[in-house]
Amino acid sequence: MCGLNIRKILVPLDGSQNSFRGLENAILLARSCKASVTGLYVIGFVLPSKNAPLSTIERYLLEQAAKFMARAKKHAAKHGILFHDKVLYGNEGQQIVSYAKKNNFDIIIVGSRGRSVAKEVFLGSTSNYVLHKSTMPVLIVK
């Protein structure tokens, strides 16, 4: 039995191995606590207007997000975990913290470093932001 009051777990995903390790830990906790997992993929640019066509890079990033989220959903299902997915646009850290708060998640499980190697020092800039700005518990996975 879990012993914790965790029903909703948010795990930010970016396609990196570190984010997938975060998903692995979210699945383990979800199984123990009988919780659901939501994967959040944030595309680091401003949402295009509804009338503007997507650029080649925007289309590519959306396709990559969809592929990774499908892989994550399949992996969670193999372990009997209900997995929801969400794709947002904008600043990764801000979107993660805002989405978690608006949707009343119990915990955020995030990889220590993602794809943005140039921004990293000890913790990734996104995980560092989430750790310091979140009002809910954050588990950082190395």
13 and 41 Cβ atoms separated by less than 8 Å: yes
Within 5-55, residue ranges assigned H as helices are 17-33
Sign of CA dihedral 109, 112, 114, 116: positive
* Structural domain boundaries in the chain: 8-141
Q: Is 58 exposed, middle or buried (0-12, 13-18, 19+ CB in 10 A)?
A: middle
Q: What's the mean per-residue pLDDT of the chain?
A: 88
Q: What is the pLDDT of residues 8-30, one digit of tens each?
A: 999 999 988 989 999 999 999 99
Q: What is the pTM of this model?
A: 0.89
Return the pLDDT at 119: 43
Which residues face 36 on adjacent strands?
A: 8
C-alpha–C-alpha distance, residues 126 and 130, integer Å: 6
Q: Which residue has the higher pLDDT, 48 or 80?
A: 80
Which homologous superfamily is 8-141 in? HUPs (3.40.50.620)
Establish how many alpha carbons lie within 13 A of residue 56's alpha carbon, considering only the half-sphere containing its beta carbon.
0
